[in-house]
Amino acid sequence: EDQVTQSPEALRLQEGESSSLNCSYTVSGLRGLFWYRQDPGKGPEFLFTLYSAGEEKEKERLKATLTKKESFLHITAPKPEDSATYLCAVQELSQKLVFGQGTRLTINP
């Protein structure tokens, strides 16, 4: 059975303080690993898809990386508007996504 574990559960940073969020996964055949951002009261919003170990993708202050067992979401010089819950999900052979529990990120000004 697919498993996705995210850490930490919650993270508080000062504006400009860089850090990383972790997503560890167990899946028999990875088709893709997804990162989504979720704001309170909203649905998840797509950020990245990673397909194979060694792949990296960037968007503004965010960079996602992938190994055979985990993915990292690196946040460089974050701003208060980056505060949200970040969700990691894996897709195996079926169309469904298996999500982790998320990391609640708070950036203090």
Partner 1 sequence: GAGVSQSPRYKVAKRGQDVALRCDPISGHVSLFWYQQALGQGPEFLTYFQNEAQLDKSGLPSDRFFAERPEGSVSTLKIQRTQQEDSAVYLCASSLVGTPNEKLFFGSGTQLSVL
Residues that bind partner 1 (CB under 8 A): 4, 6, 31-32, 34, 36, 41-46, 49, 51, 87, 89, 91, 94-102
- At 50, which helix (H) or strand (E)? strand 45-50
Q: How far apart are CA 93 and CA 60, in angstroms?
A: 31
Which has the closest alpha carbon to 62: 30, 23, 36, 33? 36
Nearest distance from residue 16's CB to partner 1, in Å? 28
Q: Which one, 79 or 96, has the nearer CB to partner 1?
A: 96
Amino acid at 87: L
Q: Which one, 31 or 69, has the nearer CB to partner 1?
A: 31
Q: Which one, 6 or 65, has the nearer CB to partner 1?
A: 6
Nearest distance from residue 3's CB to partner 1, in Å? 12
Amino acid at 96: K
